[in-house]
């Protein structure tokens, strides 16, 4: 097969290149459990590093951020665990409680891959408790200027706790959101990620979201509608609580509730330019075991050696938050525009960033003949190897202890990679 190569000079003349006609975008919503103020479990940011390294979302929606320091911590992790092209939306402290002393320290935020999205607009919808933070993104396509494709992302955290009073507060918060959604185009692509704190689909807040007479009607992508709380029939979509202990911050009691959601506007189920990928929704870390009901997510009741989610992932989830993240994938038949910086970053990659037995490194021809070094997180040199002309190199990692490691390439000071060993 004849190979066609493009010289560096020619590449530098281009401002963008066409990549693919079918693109998939991974979305994750996560309640960060009062990050960074909650410190009952030390070094929680390392657990988030492992989680994001494993899932690799393109959009990362969060709630329960306490402050700008925590927001920047998370941004730095997205840049090292996922891609250097990640950025965050504007960090804005909750405005809804301004009349009560601005005491609420639970903020929402969006992190996004700037090689795939541009952030066009940020909107705050206040309520009597916490803001809805809404972000209008556009897909970064080759024809973005003439054929823009918008995606609205809603991040929220509704009132917690049982009882009619709290149910009504959740409902009233959703009514505030609906007033804003009524201003959008009827065919708008909207995803909502949030800790809804609802115990059943019959609650007024949830019914309002899925009401088919709405200007924008939401759907539950996995179609798991019902009375979720303490109902083992819905264990596969449970997201709280990852712990049975009560001294780690957050809730204990084990897996017994579905509080965390990613909903899409109904047009995104096969009728829009951006669509939900069938069966892609997951309560991330939840293997769906019936025995996981009322158990800690890192227990043997919630997984085994052949499970989708390993012990290492479930243990990180257990330690980082009392909630599981929820994830889904979106797809669009578009051609993305990738700038030169993004292109160059694709020339060196790892098959996986969470490693058990074998590390696989992929590289382009510009790396042929260069030496590769591995150091641990303390800077100790572990090994040196030589990159031949095979475009792929594997390293046995069975002798490495669990931890974070860094790869450096001779003559490539700004192109370092990180991987995590978890046996």
pLDDT of residue 147: 95
Element (H, E) at 52: helix 44-55
* pLDDT the model gives residue 368: 85
Q: Which two tokens stand for residue 410?
A: 């001779």
Cβ proximity of 373 and 393 under 8 Å: no
Phi first, then psi: what are they for 110, rounded to 5°?
-120, 135
Residues of the chain under the 50 pLDDT cut: 1-20, 340-344
CATH 3.30.70.20 applies to domain 17-332: no
pLDDT (0 to 100) of residue 413:
61
| Delimiting residues of CATH 2.60.40.3580 domain(s) in the chain | 347-421
Task: For 261-310, give the DSSP string.
Answer: EEEEEGGGTTSSSEEEPTT--EETT----GGGBTS-TTSGGG--TTSSS-
Which of 150, 145, 120, 140 minimizes the C-alpha distance to 273? 150
Residue 45 CA to its chain's centroid (Å): 14
Rounded CA separation 311/316 (Å): 8
Q: How many helices, marked H, and strands, marked E, lie in the chain?
A: 7, 23
Helix H segments across 321-399?
340-345
Does residue 23 sit in helix, strand or coil?
Answer: strand
Give the helix/strand (H/E) hosting 11: helix 8-13
- 347-421 under CATH 2.60.40.3580, yes or no: yes
Sign (positive or negative) of CA dihedral 275, 279, 283, 284 = negative
DSSP string, 166-177: HHHHHHHHHHHH
Q: What pLDDT was estimated at residue 419? A: 86
Q: β-pairing, 260-265 with 337-338?
A: unpaired
pTM of the model: 0.82
Spatial distance between the Cα atoms of 152 and 61, rounded to a whole number of angstroms: 12
> Residue 380 has what pLDDT?
87
**Residue 126 to residue 190: CA distance in whole angstroms:** 18
37-73 tens-digit pLDDT: 999 999 999 999 999 999 999 999 999 999 999 999 9
pLDDT for the residue 403: 86
């Amino acid at each position: 097969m004849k190979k066609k190569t493009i010289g560096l000079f020619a590449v530098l003349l281009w401002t963008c290149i066409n990549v693919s006609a079918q693109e998939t975008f991974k979305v994750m919503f996560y309640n960060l459990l009062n990050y960074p103020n909650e410190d009952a479990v030390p070094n929680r940011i390392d657990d988030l590093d492992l989680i994001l390294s494993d899932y690799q979302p393109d959009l990362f929606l969060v709630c329960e951020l306490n402050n700008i320091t925590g927001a920047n911590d998370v941004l730095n992790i997205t840049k090292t665990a996922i891609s250097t092209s990640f950025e965050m939306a504007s960090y804005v402290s909750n405005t809804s409680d301004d009349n009560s002393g601005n005491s609420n320290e639970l903020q929402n935020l969006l992190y996004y891959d700037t090689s795939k999205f541009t952030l066009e607009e940020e909107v705050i919808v206040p309520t009597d408790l916490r803001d809805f933070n809404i972000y209008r993104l556009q897909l970064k396509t080759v024809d973005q200027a003439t054929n823009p494709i918008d995606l609205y992302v809603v991040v929220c955290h509704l009132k917690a706790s049982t009882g009619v009073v709290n149910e009504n507060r959740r409902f009233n918060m959703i009514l505030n959101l609906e007033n804003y959604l009524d201003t959008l185009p009827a065919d708008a692509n909207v995803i909502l990620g949030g800790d809804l704190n609802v115990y059943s689909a019959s609650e007024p807040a949830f019914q309002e979201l899925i009401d088919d007479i709405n200007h924008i009607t939401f759907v539950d992508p996995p179609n798991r509608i019902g009375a979720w709380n303490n109902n083992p029939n819905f264990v596969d979509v449970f997201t709280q609580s990852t712990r049975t202990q009560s001294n780690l911050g957050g809730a204990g009691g084990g897996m017994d509730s579905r509080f965390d959601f990613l909903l899409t506007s109904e047009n995104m189920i096969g009728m829009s330019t951006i669509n939900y990928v069938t069966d892609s929704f997951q309560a991330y870390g939840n293997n769906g075991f019936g025995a996981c009901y009322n158990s800690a997510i890192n227990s043997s009741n919630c997984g085994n050696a052949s499970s989708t989610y390993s012990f290492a992932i479930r243990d990180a989830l257990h330690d980082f938050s009392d909630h599981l993240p929820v994830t889904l994938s979106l797809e669009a038949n578009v051609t993305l525009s990738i700038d030169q910086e993004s292109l160059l970053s694709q020339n060196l990659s790892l098959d996986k960033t969470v490693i058990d037995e074998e590390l696989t490194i992929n590289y382009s021809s510009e790396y042929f003949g260069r030496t590769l070094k591995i150091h641990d997180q303390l800077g100790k040199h572990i090994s040196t190897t030589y990159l031949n002309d095979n475009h792929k190199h594997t390293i046995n990692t069975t002798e490495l202890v669990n931890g974070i490691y860094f790869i450096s390439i001779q003559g490539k000071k700004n192109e370092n990679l990180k991987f995590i060993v978890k046996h």
